[in-house]
Amino acid sequence: MKTRNSKTNQRVARIYSVRALALVLALSLTAVTSVAASAVVAIDTATSYQVVVNKTRPLRPVTYHPSDLVRVPKYNPYSRIVRRDVSAAIVLLGNDMKVAGQGTLIVQSGYRSYGSQTTIHKAKVRALGKVHGEKLAARPGYSEHQTGLAVDFAARGVSTLQVSFAKTKAGIWLAANAYRYGFVLRYPSGKTSITGYSFEPWHFRYVGVQVATAMHDQAITTLEEFYSLPAAPNYLN
């Protein structure tokens, strides 16, 4: 068997190096494409924890009903239901909030069906007019509550569903710490032109700890901005 000289060995090494680099690049591109595709699927799929629902992005189907709804076992005097993982996160959050001396959590609202949201939407529009009513209540099929991932939080002894909740110790603690449990404050102050809704310091949305932490660390406060989606201040029709 002939022994390769040093020049031949160098040429072979370069060939394998180029091939290895090409393989790494191909795999990297595949991974990036896969992640991007997953993100698109996640924000468009009703069952996903990352689904984005707003005034231009209705649920598909609009009558979507989660299959894993459960009653939250603690902090739930009104027997609200949410998706299973959301329920577990609420209990952890409520336990830690209480230990921290920041109040006793109350689940004020959770999952709402298409039919329930129809009733709520009609009532708000009737009371406040269409423009103002739709800044507070989503149309059926466009509501985060219908996903089973949205929760309106309150605290014992605190006025519920009021902007003043933001200044209570419970509201302050939730705004600062909810991300640790997978929740984001979905309709923050000053973002109505993006979310389409007035400031709701009680309305939190479960997106999972990874996404909630990424949003917190990057100081991004809306799902629309996090996923580089168009603003959704109004319905398309």
The predicted structure's pLDDT at residue 40: 53
What's the total number of domains in the chain? 1
- 33 lies in some domain: no
- 236 lies in some domain: no
Q: Respond yes or no: is residue 200 known to be catalytic.
A: yes
The predicted structure's pLDDT at residue 213: 97
201, 185 contact by CB (below 8 A)? yes
Question: What are the Cα distances from residue 95, in Å, to 66, 98, 153, 194, 203?
Answer: 26, 5, 14, 33, 19
**Active-site position among 134, 144, 200, 224:** 200
- 85 lies in some domain: yes
Q: How many Å apart are CA 151 and CA 27, to the nearest integer?
A: 40
Please name the residue that has the structure tokens 């924890």.
49
- 220 lies in some domain: yes
- The range of the structural domain enclosing residue 112 comes to 45-226
* pTM of the full structure: 0.82
Largest alpha-carbon pair distance within the chain?
Answer: 93
**Percent helix / strand / coil, the chain, rounded to 5:** 50, 10, 40
- 68 lies in some domain: yes
- 10 lies in some domain: no
CATH number at residue 56: 3.30.1380.10
Q: Is there a cis peptide before residue 201, judged by omega within 30 degrees of 0?
A: no
- 35 lies in some domain: no
The predicted structure's pLDDT at residue 9: 52
The predicted structure's pLDDT at residue 155: 97
- 36 lies in some domain: no
168, 119 contact by CB (below 8 A)? no
DSSP state, residue 167: G
Residue 83 structure tokens: 């998706």
- Reading the chain (237 residues) residue by residue, the pLDDT tens digits are 445 555 555 554 454 444 544 443 444 434 333 333 445 559 999 999 999 999 999 999 999 999 999 999 999 999 999 999 999 999 999 999 999 999 999 999 999 999 999 999 999 999 999 988 888 888 999 999 999 999 999 999 998 899 999 999 999 999 999 999 999 999 999 999 999 999 999 999 999 999 999 999 999 999 999 999 999 999 998
